[in-house]
Each structure stands twice: as C-alpha cells, then as structure tokens.
Amino acid sequence: MATLALKGVRKEYGKSVVALKGLDLDIGDGEFFVLLGPSGAGKTTTLKCVAGLEQPTLGHVEIGGLDVSNIEPNARKVAMAFENYALYPQETVYDNIAFPLRSRRYYREPGEAQSIIERVTTTLGINHLLQRLPRELSGGQKQRVALARVLVRPADVLLLDEPLSHLDAKLRAAMRAELKSLGELQSTTSLYVTHDYLEALALGDRIAVLNEGELVQVGTREEIWHRPVNTFVAKAFGQPQINLVEGEVIPGHDGPRFHGANGAVDLPMHGFDVTPGRKVITGMRPRDLVMDAKPGMAHIKGSVWVTEPLGRQQEVTLEAGGQHIAVITPLSSLAIGDTVTISVPVSRILLFDAESGQRIPAKDDAAGAARPIAEMEVSRG
Amino acid sequence: MATDKPSQQVHQQAIPEAQGMAVAASGPAVDPDARPRSIGGIGLDLLTIAYFAFALFPIIWILMLSFKSQDQLFTTYFRFDPTLDSYKAVLGLSSTTESVPFMKYFLNSLIASFGAVAVSLLVGVPAAYAFARYQFKGANDMLFTLLSFRFAPELMVIIPVYVIYQKIGLFDRHLGLIWVYQLITLPLIVWILRSYFQDLTPELEQSAMLDGYNRWQALVKVVVPLVKPGIAAAALLAFIFAWNSFIFPFILTGSNAQTVTVGALAFMGGAKPRYNVTAAAALISLIPPLVLALSIQRYLVRGLTFGAVKG
C-alpha cells in the first residue's frame, strides 16, 4: 500500500532519443491508474523507471512519499508483469510462480507458498497447468502465469505492461472483467499500461494519455471521454474513431454557426463562446449520432459511402461534402449511394481549435463531463 | 460485391477438384521425381565417405604406427605384427632405454588446461554478461583487445613473456601456464558467451530482480542456467585449444610443468626417432578432449548451433 509519484521524470536513451519528456504523475494509494498511448509513447519506459530497471535522466520517482532513486529494484516492493511475459523458460509454471516466494526478500515456507499459489492460480484458472513448461503454454496462458507471479507476492505497487494485449478478443473481454474482480488489484496501487482504450475505460480509476513521451491528459474516464483536451485524446478513444470535421465559424441569424465540409456540415455553435471567422474542428462520436432527422437536433445530409455490420448494429459511413462521417445505427437496409439524413445532438458536439488542436470548452463543460459513456454500455452488452 | 461472390464460389468448388487431380497425378509422378534425388543422395554419401577417409586417414595411420614395432616402422604399410610395446613405453611400463615421464606430462596438461578453463569461466562468464548488458566506456576496446590475443601470433609475445616469467618465478610452473593460457581461453569464452547473453531478453533478469533477487542472484539463478549449452560449448573449445597449445609450454616450461604436446616430442629425440611411441603418445593425449566432448555432447549440438554464430 503506497502512493506513487513521478516528479519531472525525463528519460533519454543515448543522445538523440528522448523517451520521456518530464513526466509528472500523482497516483493515490490503492488507485488503479491506466497509462494509454500509441507505441513509442513511453509507457513501458515509465513502468521501468518506477521499477528501477531504468534510471531517469532527470527527475525522480516516489513510492509512499519516499524518493526511491537510490533503492535497488529488488528492494522497491514493486511487482511487474512484462509485456513479453518474461517467464523463466527452464522452470515449470509452478516454479515460475513460486520464484518470488523463494527469494530472500519475499520468502514463504514451501507449504505456505503452495497454498498462496494454489489460491492465485485457481482465481486465474491456470492451476491445471502448474507442471508445464512455459513453451508448452498458449499466449493467453503465459500471460496468466505472468500475472500470477505478480499476484502471489506482497507489493506496494503493481506494474502491468499490456497484460491482455496478446489475448484474443473474447478472452480479453473475459480477463478484463476478471482483472477488475481480483482483490489484489483492487486494493494495491496499480499502474497499468495499455494501448486499448476499452481496457483503459473499463479498468482505470484514472487514465493518463501519453504521446511521444509527454503527458497529454490525466482524468477519470468520463473526463477523458467527454472532455478530451485535444484531438489526439479524442481520436485515441472510441471505435470507430470520432468524426472530426474542419471548418469555420460563421455568423448566423441565431448566433454563430459551424460551417464545414463545403457547407454539408452546418451546426449551431450556441453552446460555445466562439467568434465568427475562427477556424475550428468539430468532433462527433459515431455512437452519439442518430439516423434520420430528429427534432431538436442539428442535421447532416449525405449519401451512404459504405456499411459494415457489427452484430446487432452497423457502422454506416456517409459522404457529405467530401467528408466521411461514421455513424453507429441499428441494422437496417441501406444501399450504397442512398441519400440519408443524420441527427446530431448539439450538446454532444466537441469543438477544437483548428490550429492547436486544443479543445474549446463548452459553456456547460462541468455538467457534460459526468454523463455515462455510450461506448461502455455497448462493450458490456 | 455482387460480381465477386459467384466467382468465389467457383473457386471454392474448383479447388477440391484440383487437389484431387494432384493426388491422382502424384502416383506416377513420384518415381521420376525420386530417382534423381536418391542418386543425389548416394552421391552425397560417397562424398561424405571420401571426406571422412581423407580426414581420418592421418589418424588411422597414427593408430597403425602406434602398433608397429620399431623394426617394421619403415618397412611395412598395412601388414605388420601388432605390438603394444609403444604404449608400454609411453605409460612407463617398459624398462627400455631412456624413459620419458609421459604420465607426468599428461597430468600437467590436465592441470594446466582444466585450470585455464576454470579461471576463464570464472572471469569470462561475468565479463561476457557485462559486455552483453552494459554500455560502458571502453567496452568495445576491451572486447577488441581480447580478440587481438587470438589473432596476434603467440610467437610475437613469447620472448617478453619468457623473460617476465623467468624474473617473477613463474617459469616452469603450472600457475604460469594457466595464466598464459588465458590468452587462448578467455577471448573464446568471452566472445562466444557474450552473444549468448545478447540473445536472452534482459527482461528475464529484470523480472527476477523485481521478484526479490539482486542482480548477482538473478544472473546465477535465471541467466546462467539458460546459457549452460553455450558455456559447455565454449568451455570445450577453450579446453581443446589450451590442450593443444604447443608454443607456450614449449618455451615457458622445463621438466616440471611440461605438457603432452611438448612431451610427445621427447620420443623423437635420440639416435633413432621413435615414431611409433610418439604416435601412441599422441593417441593417448587425444583421450581427454574426446571424453569431454562426448560427455557434454547433448549440450554441444545446441550450443554450437545456437547463438555462437551470431555476432
């Protein structure tokens, strides 16, 4: 049990590669904190700096309020599951999991160790594999073994490096739910690295979005989802990706309007403090958009470009003024080239500055951030 | 889309048919295919046999020499009266003329070679690990220096080493040989094992370090067991090179620490060169490397094919 803090952590490899450009993070005791970012964002480097496997070039890491710069990795009480599992190939699954319990630091009597391993492996559903060698396991099984090795020992901080990345989609969803129910993960400060936004939304008490060694945004899942600081964060969450339409604010008879995609996308901007003439980007989540013209909403007219069935729903991509707009709708018979109208709930529109990509706050910003996330409902169902 | 579908179906129907055709056609097709291959196989076998005959002939010749009597040495080829006299002479069992303490040399060779390999492993395994894992100043220069021991001719350094050994009292001592053999064994072990360590992901040790082990324990418990085949192969190679070393013991030892490579020559001196005894000595001195190679054979194939070739 401990808090974890990164204070201005900068990591350079050699002279030209900067993996982390001064990272500041404060993670509470028992918090499940997710780091999300594309590959090369510096997620794994962050974990290794916390573990002590890499020394920050500048800055330091604090565990429980204590600067751990001069503490060896084996004395930091940090457990880590590696992305490539790092299972000891010459040892059986049992010996792999028992490995930390045989060290001087985390030593347990063999009998006690066995009961701990028994409990953890039963939870993870791998207790029938204990006598196998790592090379005889599937990727998903290896990942569970790596996870078990982390969970059998006491730790102040758990570091999990893409623990679900090599699982197939079905198993991943199941493991995601399982992970959440694991007591060890609920009570221990955890730093979880992933590039899967659904994992981040499902697991993270808070989420940090990382890009090119820099922190882009830290927040709860709702903040990240509804109030992304810039287009990068907006694009990082959601599948299909958020629709971003570039355009300009123009004066209208009932206040400023958004004019984009050669006039095909025309939206009221009364939710925002923007002056005509400003170049902006609007963001619309595909799951927020609705088929057909609904009263009280803004409308976009376009022709069907492509449809893709997704189980009970389908992803419809429209072509409007040379711009592609994706919509998630219930299954219906739409033919390519059909002219359709979609409705945009005005309160769900996100607005970004066209130059900087930074979000332009809405007038009701505080209220909007607390809404549930449509995406999550779908992923659970 | 609409036009694609039918054509796909056609393909799917066509494929089993095509396979059926292939199966049917493969019956008569096998023989003309197989015949040239088997001729090639026989050719390869013949080549292999020819090579082995060529490679093994000197050994067979030495074997025959060692069973010949002094009188028949130069008068016979394959037909002679075999005798064990040469072996008796080598082992010091016969009380003829000048005796050479060959078994003592044999023991010296064992001490020097095993000692040299042991010291090299002790120093070389951690060194190779460090070279593989850490980027430190001068690492490349040090590696190159180690390698240069192998490509610089031994004769180049032997005179200064001789003078130094005379001065510090290492001349004709086992320790002196073990020390100078490091020039042979250490570079081999460091270079071969370095590539083994490089092949292992560093995350294995990192994981061990987070599991509560310090760096040294992580090396011993996790990494070393994984490079055992490499250690076996490198150690064997180093042993063979040390065992066969001639120049160093020739110059740096007298009667006390002399090894078999030099000792075997003693039978060549005197009025009549005793080739048959020298042959027996050579064959006996073949035994330790052979026994070693066979006893670690199961590591050897893996060890020599995996890792060591990459640099």
Distance of CA B207 to CAs A20, A78, A258, Å?
A: 22, 11, 54
Q: Nearest CA to B198 among B307, B303, B125, B301?
A: B307
Structural domains counted in chain A: 2
Question: Which residue of chain B comes nearest to A50, CA vs CA?
Answer: B210
- A92 to chain B, any CB pair closer than 8 A? The answer is no
Q: Which of A201, A193, A141, A149 is nearest to A171 (CA)?
A: A141
How large is the ipTM?
Answer: 0.82
Dist CA A360 CA A363 (whole Å): 10
For residue B181, what pLDDT is reported? Answer: 95
Of residues A2 and B301, the one with the higher pLDDT is A2
How far A51 CA lies from chain B's nearest CA (Å)? 7
The pLDDT assigned to B304 comes to 58
> Where among A235, A256, A273 does a domain terminate?
A235
Per CB-CB distance under 8 Å, the chain B contacts of A78 are 210
| Mean pLDDT to the nearest integer, B22-46 | 62
**Cβ–Cβ contact A71 with B under 8 A:** no
Contacts of B213 in chain A (CB under 8 A): 74, 103, 105
Among the candidates A235, A262, A277, a domain finishes at A235
A104 touches chain B (CB under 8 A): yes
Question: B134, B207, B215, B223: which to substitute to probe chain A, counting the most A Cβ within 10 Å?
Answer: B207
Decide if A39 contacts A79 (C-beta within 8 A). no
Neighbour tally for B153: CB within 10 Å: 8
Q: How far apart are CA A323 and CA A297, in angstroms?
A: 20
Q: What pLDDT does residue A29 have?
A: 93
Please give, one letter per residue, the 3-state secondary structure of A177-223. HHHHHCHHHHHCEEEEEECCHHHHHHHCCEEEEEECCEEEEEECHHH
Same domain, A140 and A209: yes
Residues A190 and A201 in one domain: yes
Residue A206: its pLDDT value, please? Answer: 94
Mind telling me how many Å the CA of A145 is from chain B's nearest CA? 13
- In total, chain A counts a number of residues equal to 381
Q: How far is CA B117 from CA A77, A106, B154, B156, B232, in A?
A: 39, 37, 18, 23, 11
- Lowest model confidence (mean pLDDT) among A26-40, B71-85, B129-143, B237-251: B71-85
Pairing of strands A17-27, A4-13: antiparallel
CA dist A237 → A20, A23, B143, B272 (Å)? 22, 21, 49, 92
The answer to whether A226 touches A368, Cβ cutoff 8 Å, is yes
pLDDT of residue B8 exceeding 70: no
Note whether A224 and A292 are same-domain residues.
no
Q: Is the minimum CB–CB distance between A244 and chain B shorter than 8 Å?
A: no
Do A250 and A336 reside in the same domain of the chain? yes
Q: What is the pLDDT of residues A185-226, one digit of tens each?
A: 778 899 999 998 989 998 899 999 999 999 999 999 999 999
**One domain, residues A248 and A203:** no
Contact B189, B116 (CB under 8 A): no
Evaluate if residue B104 carries a pLDDT over 80. yes
Q: Do A74 and B212 touch (CB under 8 A)?
A: yes
User: Which residues from chain B sit within 8 angstroms of residue A53, using beta carbons?
Assistant: 206, 209-210
- Of the candidates A197, A220, A235, which is a domain's last residue? A235
Q: Are A297 and A343 in contact (CB under 8 A)?
A: yes
Tell me what the pLDDT averaged over chain B comes to: 82
What global pTM score does this model have?
A: 0.77
The whole-number pLDDT of residue B16 equals 41
Based on the fold, state whether residues A149 and A190 are members of the same structural domain: yes
The band of B25, judged by pLDDT with boundaries at 50, 70 and 90, is: very low
Q: Which amino acid is at A154?
A: P
The chain B residue lying nearest A159, using CA atoms, is: B210
Q: CA nearest A292: which of A230, A342, A349, A233?
A: A342
CATH number, position A152: 3.40.50.300
Q: Are residues A323 and A226 in the same domain?
A: no
Q: A38 with A92, same domain?
A: yes
Is-contact B285 B100, C-beta < 8 A?
no
- Chosen from A99, A149, A161, A191 to mutate, greatest number of chain B CBs within 10 A: A99
Which residues in chain A have Cβ-Cβ distances shorter than 8 Å to B227? none
Q: Is it true that the peptide bond before B58 is cis, omega within 30 degrees of 0? A: no
Instruction: Find chain A residues with C-beta within 8 A of B207's C-beta.
Output: 80, 82, 86, 88, 149
Residue A124 in 3-state DSSP? Answer: helix
Q: Computed from CA positions of residues B45, B46, B47, B49, in that sequence, does the dihedral angle turn out positive or negative?
A: positive
Looking at the structure, do residues A184 and A317 belong to the same domain, yes or no?
Answer: no
Size of interface A-B (CB pairs under 8 A): 59
CATH (domain of A301) = 2.40.50.140
Domain that holds residue A117: 4-235
Interval B161-174 mean pLDDT: 93
Cβ distance of B206 and A51 shorter than 8 Å: yes
Q: What is the pLDDT of residue B308?
A: 39
Same structural domain, A321 and A288: yes
Query: Are B206 and A73 a contacting pair at CB < 8 A?
Result: yes
Q: How far apart are CA A279 and CA A352, in angstroms?
A: 9
Q: Are A50 and A78 in contact (CB under 8 A)?
A: yes
Contact A206, A353 (CB under 8 A): no
Q: How far is A90 from chain B (nearest CA, A)?
A: 7
- Flag the least confident range among B20-29, B75-84, B177-186: B20-29
Provide the shortest C-alpha distance from residue A87 to chain B (in Å).
7
B→A interface, C-beta within 8 Å = 201, 203-204, 206-215, 217, 222, 225-226
Rounded to 10 deg, the angle between the B102-133 and B287-295 helix axes is 40
pLDDT tens, N- to C-terminus, chain A (381 residues): 689 999 999 999 888 899 999 999 999 999 999 999 998 899 999 999 999 999 999 999 999 999 999 999 999 999 999 988 999 998 999 999 999 999 988 999 999 999 999 998 988 889 899 999 999 998 888 988 998 999 899 899 999 999 888 777 887 888 888 787 877 777 889 999 999 898 999 889 999 999 999 999 999 999 999 999 999 999 999 888 999 999 999 998 888 999 988 888 899 988 888 889 899 999 999 999 998 888 888 899 999 999 998 888 899 999 998 899 999 988 888 888 899 999 999 888 999 999 999 999 888 877 766 677 766 654 443
CA distance A188 to chain B (A): 16
Which residue stretches of chain A are H helix?
43-51, 93-98, 110-124, 139-151, 169-181, 183-187, 197-203, 221-226, 231-236, 365-368, 374-380
